[in-house]
Structure 1
Amino acid sequence: MVKEGASPPRAGVIGWPIAHSRSPLIHGTWLKRHGLAGRYERIAVAPDEADAFFADFAGKGLVGANVTIPHKQTAARHCDRLSDVAATLGAVNTLWLEEGRLCGDNTDVAGFLGHLDASQPGWENRVNRAVVLGAGGASLAVLYGLKSRGLGDVLVLNRSADKARSVADRFGYESASLESASEALEGADLLVNTTALGMAGQPPLDLDPAPMAPGGIVYDIVYVPLETALLRRARAAGLHAVDGLGMLLHQAVPGFARWFGVKPCVDESLRNSLLADLGETENRAGATSSGQEPPA
């Protein structure tokens, strides 16, 4: 609720580049749906300007913001207070002010789990072993989420075995080189791709999930294209396929609720709006839009 005489709350998404971001569409839809006065905009901040920007965040006229690549770690360093998730991951994607103090959270974990819960209810009861591809920031969020749900048997695969080991060790999980993926998938109940492989403009992910356990779940956080080759192979093998668009939508909920005072709903109407926008953007940009690192 905006106090009489006060300016409508202003938030945005900070990154470089930022023109591709779908966050304004998501938050703009929610503002209209709930009849709220407020603004949400793209804020381009070059890497060499990021430290100064976040150091003076309280003077920017923002009630908060989302943060995307390449600024998630930089923003975290400037926060006066971090959530447990953000402190563990060393990165934030959601900022807000409390009495002039900059606070940060990482809602990628909530986005990953929220979409998995919604699309595959009760998944924890049938997932005993998981394989996670990648060892970047998105991988950390996924591993944190799996650990928080009590999953003990997780294998992290990455092109660099050393980086996979470094990430896996933080959560007490096993690791290996991506070259062993086919063997590692035998009998796995859950596969999560957190790499950019298979994204428009990137090399394909040459991996067949067919050796997974019957009823297994394949979750690809890429959302451009929405139906990746990995997900097509999963469906062909009779496995459950989960695309990356839901993670993008669910990770946006906590920030909107904090800045504008209403917890929004992720539904088919919002998803369809994004699908239409993604299709139009792919056509204009030759399918080179960013579609892997949420929020985008």
Structure 2
Amino acid sequence: MTIPHPRAFVVGHPIAHSRSPLIHGHWLAEHGLPGAYERVDVHPDAFPDFVRGLRAEGFVGGNVTIPHKEAAFRLSQVLTPRAERIGAVNTLWFEDGRLHGDNTDAPGFLAHLDASLGAGWPEATGVADARAALVLGAGGAARAILVGLLERGLDRLIVANRSAERAEGLTALDPSRITAVSWDAVPAQLPETGLLINTTALGMAGQDPLSLDLAPLPGAAAVADIVYVPLETPLLAAARTRGLPAVDGLGMLLHQAVPGFSRWFGRTPEVSPALRARIVADLRSHG
């Protein structure tokens, strides 16, 4: 009897833009593993039926992207504590006959910080732990990143959003460590910010830039942006001009993919310079 090769997927609506097949295809080839990783475009109305039919279609699991992450959370039979806290799932797999769900955005973001700023950030780099991380935006990515920073042990987290109500909602993750401020209050927070993170669409290709004077940031601060088209946003360019470490959004995309690949194909891959170069080349070719 022939054992079928593992099949995994990325599901979203739309999905044609996803670089995940390039990432996982690179790792499958690099490790010489049999298997496939496919894009699947599923309308939100059809998503529950898609999930219920995964095993019948021969899938061992997959990635979930916009707009299905919260629905995947509700449909997972077993959730990791991190996924429960974030309230969204981006990675599915079968284990002991049950559908498991995790959110790997938080560890993906932290892994990229470690790769960019030094393992064990912030202690390893001399950025004072007491200084705040300032998160701009209050969507799903902001929530995942806040959970990751809480897990890392940061004791002061500030979240700012144009909708104050959404920012206030995120303080419930840990009211003792997370504070919400108005968008207009962002400049006043910068002098005590050790890490500034943009999770909004500002600066993305086709969107307005994020207009923010970085002069008040401490000299030991770092700036991160989850946008990766363009790879260097105006915010990151401004950080480099000031001589501050600039952490782009591509690394988070690459590192968040590692746990899923390990689950589906039984090998833990590496986010290598060769992989990054391949995705950067694709971004430059297709935008």
Residue of structure 1 equivalent to 2:164: 161
Any idea what SS the aligned residue of 2:92 has? strand
Residue of structure 1 aligned with 2:272, choices 259, 264, 267? 267
Structure 2 counterpart of 1:247, one-letter code: M
Q: Which residue of 2 aligns with 1:53?
A: 50
Task: Please give the secondary structure, in 2, of the residue aligned with 1:58.
Answer: coil
In 2, Cα distance between the equivalents of 1:67 and 1:75? 7
The CA deviation at 1:57 is 2.7
Amino acid at match of 2:285: E
Correspondence for 2:6 among 4, 9, 12: 9
In the alignment, does 2:190 pair up with 1:185?
yes
Alignment of 1:61-140 (within 5 A): 61-121=58-118, 122-125=120-123, 126-127=127-128, 128-140=131-143
Distance in 2, Cα, partners of 1:187 & 1:163: 23
Cα pair 1:161 1:176 within 8 Å, conserved: yes
Overall identity of the aligned pairs, in %: 55
In 2: Cα distance, 1:34 partner to 1:13 partner:
20
Residue 221 of structure 2, aligned match among 197, 216, 226: 216
- Alignment partner of 1:198 is 2:207: no
Residue range with higher mean Cα deviation, 163-172 or 26-35: 163-172
TM-score (structure 2 length as normaliser) = 0.95
Q: Which runs of 5+ in 2 are unaligned?
A: none
Matched position secondary structure for 1:123: coil
The gaps in structure 1 that reach 5 residues or longer are 283-296
Q: Give the whole-Å Cα distance in 1 for the aligned partners of 2:161 and 2:57.
A: 39
Q: Deviations over 1:8-63 (max 9, x none)?
A: 10001000000000000000000000000000010110111112212333322100
- Is the contact made by 2:147 and 2:173 (CA closer than 8 Å) also made in structure 1? no
Residue 148 of structure 2 is aligned with which of 145, 149, 154?
A: 145
User: What is the letter of the counterpart of residue 254 of structure 2?
Assistant: L
Contact 2:70 2:87 in 1 (8 A): yes
Matches of 2:87 and 2:56 in 1, distance apart? 24
CA deviations over 1:122-143 (Å, ceiling 9, x no partner): 4221142110001111001110
Cα distance between partner residues in 2 of 1:189 and 1:137: 22
Task: Find the counterpart in structure 1 of residue 251 from structure 2.
Answer: 246
> Do the aligned residues in 2 keep the contact of 1:58 with 1:101 (CA within 8 Å)?
no
In structure 2, what is the equivalent of residue 44 of structure 1?
Answer: 41
Residue 181 of structure 1 and its aligned partner are, at CA, apart by 1.3
TM-align CA RMSD: 1.1
Is the counterpart of residue 33 in structure 1 residue 26 in structure 2?
Answer: no
**Residue 173 of structure 2 aligns with which residue?**
170
Aligned to 1:286: none
Structure 1 residue 171 displacement after superposition: 2.1
Q: Which amino acid aligns with 1:143?
A: L
2:233 matched residue in structure 1? 228
Match of 1:285 in 2: none
Q: Kindly indicate whether the alpha-carbon contact (under 8 Å) linking 2:54 and 2:60 is maintained by their aligned counterparts in 1.
A: no
User: In 1, distance between residues paired with 2:67 and 2:187?
Assistant: 31
**1:183-223 CA distance string (max 9 Å, x none):** 11123111011111111111211112221111210010110
For residues 266 and 220 of structure 2, the distance between their equivalents in structure 1, rounded to whole angstroms, comes to 39
What TM-score, normalized to structure 1?
Answer: 0.92
Cα distance in 1 between the residues matched to 2:163 and 2:190 = 18
Whole-angstrom distance in 2 between the partners of 1:156 and 1:99: 39
Equivalent residues, number: 279
Could you give the per-residue CA deviations for residues 95-122 of structure 1, whole angstroms, max 9, x where no partner exists? Answer: 0012331110000011000000111114
